[in-house]
């Protein structure tokens, strides 16, 4: 089987976005889109030219058709997406408000979804491991015991195991039926090579305060990225030869100023940007800058999934000196403007 740059595995759902602000009870119509942590990463990386496979399970229904067709249209290999004739494709509705406000509503219809039936017996391990990077998230572990068993199998030590990238993605609502959620996520994170976790997630799930406390709690991964929201992100890199500090070399990069339209999908975009830089062998500081730039692409669009910035322009922005980077401001449409500039600039 041909090796991919990246394989992602997880649930994607059809997303219904409101056509105007207001409560779900008051919104008269919605526009259809797609959303899923792992498929978002897959689509953005494929759009940037990487070879990517998405592994999942969807219903044998129209929504399943829509997901497979839309994700495949980005250039993602979807040949290992199973169709389930007995379980539906998950869907969800959300309001236009930000997730951090009391007015924000999300209505998930994913219980018993096709993706929750993923299991070690139903996933070809060769398809999952034939990549430079296998990207997973804690959301999948919360869907069902079989899904958790699948992640434990894929993250176990093995001769053919690729670099494991794990986004903690702590969702308390998904873990209500299990008191082991925090423990499970910590175990999976410790099995990974690269870990993405928000400082707020680490505090809520594990009671950890401070970025160094997070790094100390995850001693095994070679790279631990702690996201600080508007404060930026810090990478603890233990891959440097001769590194004696168990925490690793800490690199903090603050994000550019962004005129935010919607925050949904920004974390997935950040992970995709960081992995894009990792595949290119860039240093942690540059990888963090690319993560911030890709996150800015998601922050400046209302949909859950955004196109990545044009590669050449993103490279130029990531190479700015500290002063210029500190004054950079990005608003809606900036990625389209970059694409047009790439066409004009030899």
| Catalytic residue check, 160 | no
- Structure token pair of residue 278: 């990792």
Does residue 211 contact residue 199 with C-beta atoms inside 8 Å? yes
| Residue closest to 3 by CA, chosen among 192, 164, 157, 133 | 133
Q: Considering 77, 268, 315, 322, which one is annotated as catalytic?
A: 268
Are 113 and 87 within 8 A, CB to CB? yes
Report d(CA 51, CA 188) in Å as an integer.
25
The helix-helix angle for 311-318 and 284-299 (nearest 10°) equals 120
- Partnered with residue 128 across adjacent β-strands are none
A 10 A CB-CB count for 97 gives 16
**Where in 175-325 does DSSP place strands (E)?**
194-198, 223-227, 233-237, 249-253, 257-258
Question: Which residues have a Cβ under 8 Å from the Cβ of 277 and sit 6 or more positions away?
Answer: 286, 287, 290, 291
CB contact at 8 A, 256 and 325: yes
Buried b (16+ CB within 10 A) or exposed e, 296-325: bbbbbbebbbbbbbbeebbbebbeeeeeeb
Cβ atoms 172, 204 nearer than 8 A: yes
126-128-129-131 Cα dihedral, nearest 10 degrees = 120
Q: Residues with catalytic annotation?
A: 268
């Amino acid at each position: 089987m041909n090796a991919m740059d990246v394989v992602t595995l997880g649930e994607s759902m059809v997303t219904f976005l409101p056509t105007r602000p207001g409560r779900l009870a008051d919104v008269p119509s919605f526009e259809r889109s797609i959303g899923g942590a792992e498929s978002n990463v897959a689509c953005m990386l494929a759009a940037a030219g990487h070879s990517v496979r998405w592994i999942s399970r969807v219903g044998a229904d129209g929504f399943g058709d829509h997901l497979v067709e839309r994700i495949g249209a980005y250039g993602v290999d979807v040949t290992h997406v199973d169709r389930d004739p007995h379980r539906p494709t998950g869907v969800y509705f959300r309001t236009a408000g930000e997730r951090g406000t009391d007015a924000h509503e999300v209505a998930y219809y994913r219980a018993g979804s096709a993706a929750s039936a993923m299991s070690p017996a139903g996933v070809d391990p060769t398809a999952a491991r034939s990549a430079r990077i296998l990207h997973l998230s804690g959301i999948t572990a919360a869907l069902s015991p079989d899904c958790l068993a699948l992640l434990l199998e894929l993250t176990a030590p093995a001769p053919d195991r690729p670099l494991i990238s794990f986004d903690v993605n702590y969702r308390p609502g998904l873990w209500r039926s299990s008191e082991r959620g925090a423990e499970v996520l910590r175990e999976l994170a410790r099995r990974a090579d690269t870990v993405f976790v928000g400082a707020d997630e680490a505090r809520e799930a594990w009671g950890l305060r401070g970025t160094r406390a997070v790094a100390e709690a995850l001693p095994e991964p070679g790279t631990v990225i702690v996201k600080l929201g508007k404060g930026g992100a810090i990478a603890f890199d233990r891959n440097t030869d001769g590194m004696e500090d168990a925490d690793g070399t800490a690199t903090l990069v603050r994000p550019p100023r962004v005129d935010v339209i919607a925050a949904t999908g920004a974390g997935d975009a950040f992970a995709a940007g960081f992995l894009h830089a990792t595949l290119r062998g860039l240093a942690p500081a540059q990888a963090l800058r690319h993560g911030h730039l890709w996150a800015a692409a998601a922050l400046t669009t209302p949909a859950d999934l955004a196109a990545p910035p044009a590669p050449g322009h993103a490279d130029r922005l990531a190479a700015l000196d500290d002063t210029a980077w500190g004054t950079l401001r990005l608003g809606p449409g900036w990625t389209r403007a970059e694409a047009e500039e790439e066409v004009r600039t030899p």
